[in-house]
């Protein structure tokens, strides 16, 4: 385990200055860590004016540009730990951008959605340790240089010396970070939660309002059950990225709304800014990440002689929404009827 003095000597790089990258990097920087952001375009320009990070509990920090570094990939050249926060579809290209700049011996920690990113990073950066991680809470992008954590949660990372150093740096910042030895199972548990990202695009609603609708909850339960069945067929274990047992989540989602509010009150501790990262992608005109989420369920199911028609439906509808550049705002009951038809 690293001492705090050893940790303070570590520079942290953020590859992918989206909502998650800016929030995690901003929190570490306000806690005293040396942080560098690899950014471009509007984000890089905005970081030249400062960075605002806030939280659902009222916390807010305004960081001046002198509290961190920002630039293209070479700005990460002195970083001992690089937090990889790009979209899954950008992993390989971003890793290749990093090849010429990454410090020998630097550790890369993936904080990305989906599964498979660690394998991609290891193939492009073979001389570096790559550690799996995930962020199971919501962060909203309020502007190019302002992010807001809309709900409670901890950054989860696999065990490594770099993870221990990162945990030491996180302590004074107030950023919650936990090391988990069972990280492959955690990743599948996080993917279970991420199956809602596409549904948030289709609903067009803030997450809290979406979860008030039993139609959306039932469709999410159906999508989750397809993943759990595929995991069983593959002999893969999933564990909770949150405190809830993954096997219980579909059952909780199907409860009457009044009872769901009581049982899931901890998970509903979010404010009205909370949206999925896929919603943010739609607003920004980026490519959808759904094929790495719901699409990964369909691929896993197919490999083991099963089908995942609800997840395939979500992928198709999200692709159509992104092609049109707007949410279809499908009512929950309408989406549930489409999902039931897909299952027949």
Q: How much of the chain, in percent, has pLDDT values that exceed 70?
A: 97
Task: Examine the pLDDT at 183 and tell me if it is beyond 90.
Answer: no
Please report, in angstroms and rounded to a whole number, the separation of the first and last CA atoms in the chain. Answer: 53
* pLDDT tier, 5 (very low <50, low <70, confident <90, very high otherwise): very low
Task: Examine the pLDDT at 40 and tell me if it is beyond 50.
Answer: yes
pLDDT of amino acid 39:
95
What kind of architecture, by CATH, is found in domain 192-343? Answer: Orthogonal Bundle (1.10)
User: What gap in Å lies between CA 202 and CA 315, rounded to an integer?
Assistant: 10
* pLDDT tier, 2 (very low <50, low <70, confident <90, very high otherwise): very low
CB–CB of 240/246 below 8 Å? yes
At residue 109, what are phi and psi to the nearest 5 degrees?
-115, 120
pLDDT of amino acid 8:
55
pLDDT tens digits, 115-160:
889 999 999 999 999 999 999 888 989 999 999 998 888 999 999 9
User: What gap in Å lies between CA 108 and CA 130, rounded to an integer?
Assistant: 5
pLDDT tens digits, 280-305:
899 989 899 999 999 999 999 999 99
Mean pLDDT in the chain? 93
- For tokens 């303070």, the residue is 8
Which residues are CB-contacts of 284 (< 8 A; sequence separation ≥ 6)? none
**Whole-structure pTM value:** 0.85
User: What gap in Å lies between CA 83 and CA 320, rounded to an integer?
Assistant: 32
pLDDT tens digits, 69-88:
999 999 999 999 999 999 99
Q: Where in the chain is the domain with CATH 3.40.50.720?
A: 4-181
Task: Examine the pLDDT at 4 and tell me if it is beyond 60.
Answer: no
* pLDDT tier, 272 (very low <50, low <70, confident <90, very high otherwise): confident
Superfamily name with CATH number, domain 4-181: NAD(P)-binding Rossmann-like Domain (3.40.50.720)
* pLDDT tier, 266 (very low <50, low <70, confident <90, very high otherwise): confident
User: What gap in Å lies between CA 120 and CA 178, rounded to an integer?
Assistant: 24
Q: Where in the chain is the domain with CATH 1.10.1040.10?
A: 192-343
Task: Examine the pLDDT at 244 and tell me if it is beyond 80.
Answer: no
pLDDT tens digits, 8-20:
557 999 999 999 9
CB–CB of 140/188 below 8 Å? no
Which residues are CB-contacts of 232 (< 8 A; sequence separation ≥ 6)? none
Task: Examine the pLDDT at 27 and tell me if it is beyond 70.
Answer: yes
Instruction: Give me the sign of the Cα torsion angle 7, 9, 14, 19.
Output: positive
Nearest-Å Rg of the Cα atoms of the chain is: 19
Task: Examine the pLDDT at 241 and tell me if it is beyond 70.
Answer: no
- Output the CA angle 19-311-151, nearest 5 degrees: 30
Helices (H), 245-331: 249-253, 257-263, 277-284, 294-303, 309-324
Tokens read off for 318: 């999200």
Average pLDDT over residues 226-242: 90
* pLDDT tier, 273 (very low <50, low <70, confident <90, very high otherwise): confident
CB–CB of 108/121 below 8 Å? yes
């Amino acid at each position: 385990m690293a001492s705090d003095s050893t940790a303070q000597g570590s520079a942290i790089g953020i590859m992918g200055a989206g909502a998650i990258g800016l929030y995690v990097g901003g929190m570490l920087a306000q806690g005293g860590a040396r942080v560098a952001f690899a950014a471009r375009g509007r984000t890089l320009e905005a970081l030249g004016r400062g960075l605002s990070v806030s939280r659902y509990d009222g916390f807010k920090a305004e960081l001046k540009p002198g509290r961190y570094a920002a630039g293209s990939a070479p700005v990460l050249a002195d970083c001992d730990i690089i937090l990889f926060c790009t979209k899954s579809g950008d992993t390989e290209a971003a890793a290749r951008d990093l090849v010429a700049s990454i410090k020998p011996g630097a550790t890369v920690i993936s904080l990305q959605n989906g599964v498979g990113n660690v394998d991609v990073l290891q193939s492009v950066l073979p001389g570096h340790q790559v550690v799996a991680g995930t962020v199971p809470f919501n962060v909203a992008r309020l502007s190019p240089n302002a992010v807001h954590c809309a709900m409670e949660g901890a950054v989860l990372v696999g065990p490594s010396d770099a993870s221990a150093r990162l945990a030491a740096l996180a302590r004074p910042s107030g950023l919650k970070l936990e090391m988990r030895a069972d990280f492959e199972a955690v990743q599948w548990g996080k993917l279970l939660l991420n199956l809602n990202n596409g549904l948030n695009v289709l609903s067009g609603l803030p997450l809290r309002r979406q979860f008030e609708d039993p139609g959306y909850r039932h469709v999410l339960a159906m999508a989750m059950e397809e993943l759990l069945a595929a995991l069983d067929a593959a002999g893969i274990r999933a564990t909770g990225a949150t405190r809830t047992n993954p096997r219980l989540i579909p059952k909780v989602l199907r409860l009457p709304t009044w009872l769901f509010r009581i049982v899931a009150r901890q998970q509903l501790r979010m404010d009205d800014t909370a949206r999925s990262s896929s919603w943010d992608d739609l607003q920004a005109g980026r490519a959808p990440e759904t094929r790495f989420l719901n699409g990964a369920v369909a691929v896993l199911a197919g490999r083991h002689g099963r089908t995942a028609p609800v997840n395939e439906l979500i992928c198709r509808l999200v692709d159509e929404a992104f092609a049109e550049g707007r949410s279809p705002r499908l009512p929950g009951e309408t989406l549930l009827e489409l999902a039931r038809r897909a299952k027949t």
